[in-house]
Amino acid sequence: MSPPIRAAGLAAAVLLLAGGVAVAADEEAGVPLAPGEAAGAWTLETQGRAICVLKLGAEKTKAGAYRLDAPASCGDALPAGLAGWSPSDHGMNLVGADGRTLLGFGRWSNSLLVSHQTSGVDIQLRRGT
């Protein structure tokens, strides 16, 4: 086999393997959000517009949930009384001081969580700002 053909075959194999890794890395729909991977900024969005940026932490609070920083700019897009977040079977929940779920999010990918509302208007959390 000549060097150019061998190089082309090797390049094709690398692309196939890299593509498989990229696909596997984003197939996280329905998987609980682990504290270490959740830590950081998440943009809260609805109807195609950004509302505010939440910061999820990997450290537990005194209430037993993980740290959540939600600025006042989130307004009424979030329920009152949020005390933290916790992993759930299908993603994550924003919880109150008593640990009760106030808003649940399903995990669609590594960087997208969605909460379906009875009003029909979904709320999304996208990784980053």
Q: What is the pLDDT of residues 87-112, one digit of tens each?
A: 998 899 999 999 999 999 999 988 99
Band (22; pLDDT cuts 50, 70, 90): very low
Distance CA 74, CA 50 (A): 10
Q: Which residues contact 8 (CB under 8 A, 6 or more apart)?
A: none
Q: In terms of Cα–Cα distance, which of 58, 54, 55 is closest to 66? A: 58
Band (18; pLDDT cuts 50, 70, 90): very low
Asked whether the predicted pLDDT for residue 31 surpasses 90, the reply is: no
Question: How much is the mean pLDDT over the chain?
Answer: 81
Q: What is the pLDDT of residues 50-83, one digit of tens each?
A: 999 999 999 998 778 999 999 999 998 999 999 9
Asked whether the predicted pLDDT for residue 9 surpasses 50, the reply is: no
Domain residue ranges of the chain, discontinuous segments joined by +? 1-28, 35-127
Q: What is the DSSP string of 20-60?
A: HHHHHHT--TT----HHHH-EEEEEEETTEEEEEEEEEEEE
pLDDT at 124: 96
CATH topology for 35-127 is Lipocalin (2.40.128)
Asked whether the predicted pLDDT for residue 39 surpasses 50, the reply is: yes
Asked whether the predicted pLDDT for residue 129 surpasses 70, the reply is: yes
